[in-house]
Amino acid sequence: MRYQVLRPPYCYRWAVLISVVLVTTSLIISLSWSGAQGSETASPPQRARASTTPEPAAAPAAAGPVRTAARPGRFVALTFDDGPDPTYTPQVLDLLEQHGAVATFCMVGTQVRRHPELVAQVVERGMRLCDHTVSHDEELARRNEARISAEITGTQADLRLAADGDVSIPYFRAPGGNWSETITAIASREGMTSLGWSVDSRDWTLPGTPAIVATVRQAVQPGAVILLHDGGGQRKQTVAALTELLPWLVAQGYQFDFPAT
């Protein structure tokens, strides 16, 4: 006996065929999309091209204050602050000359204007000049740039006028030794070396002549820059101390030089 094969109507067969086509199409699209994403992920990222324009060089920082004599060996550099003073500066100059010594005089602009003739004497005796600002403002580091510049360049102009020529002013010293980057930068811009010290005689405290002498003797060493004062107050103790210190330094084998620049 034969069994009759039942076949679905044509409408069902078409429905199945359409479903197969749709599924196949979806599968193809899905595989294509995945392949595209994989291709994008696999491709290595492009490296940024190196710039051919060089970076601007940073401006060099101004050097800090020098605290040594110019020459190596058994040399010391004497420095005198806060003058010129009509009583004490000539006495200091005479003592220096008697002992074959040289020194650097850090002058205040207000004093330079009062005693320009003393500036000329210092230069004529073979000494060097140092700018010590117009007003000796010990808070100068806290002032704005315009004020700092005026204090420094003002004394430069006063010294040149007093010396009646294009005199060299190789150094600048901040009042009280209170430095800032702005101060050293402006001094450098004006062609001056910032000048510190390595031996503070503390004569400005008026401790007495024996104390000044003892302080310098204990602290001095080859290359020292010694801080003393020929102005800014009563300086009898400093002058008296120099009468002892200068021959003692010579006896110890020291020679006299200017600070490094």
Residue 151 half-sphere exposure, CB side, CA atoms within 13 Å? 26
Largest interatomic CA distance in the chain: 153
Q: φ, ψ for residue 104 (rounded to 5)?
A: -115, 130
Whether the bond into 56 is cis, omega within 30 of 0: no
The active-site residue out of 81, 131, 230, 257 is: 81
**From the candidates 158, 229, 230, 257, which is the catalytic residue?**
229
Active-site residue, 229 included: yes
Per-residue 3-state assignment (H helix, E strand, C coil) for 164-207: CCCCCCCEECCHHHCCCHHHHHHHHHCCCEEECCCEECCHHHCC
Residues 6+ apart with CB under 8 A from 62: 181, 184, 185, 187, 188, 194
User: Hey, is 79 helix, strand or coil?
Assistant: strand
CB of 129 within 8 A of CB of 119?
A: yes
- Return the active site residues: 81, 229
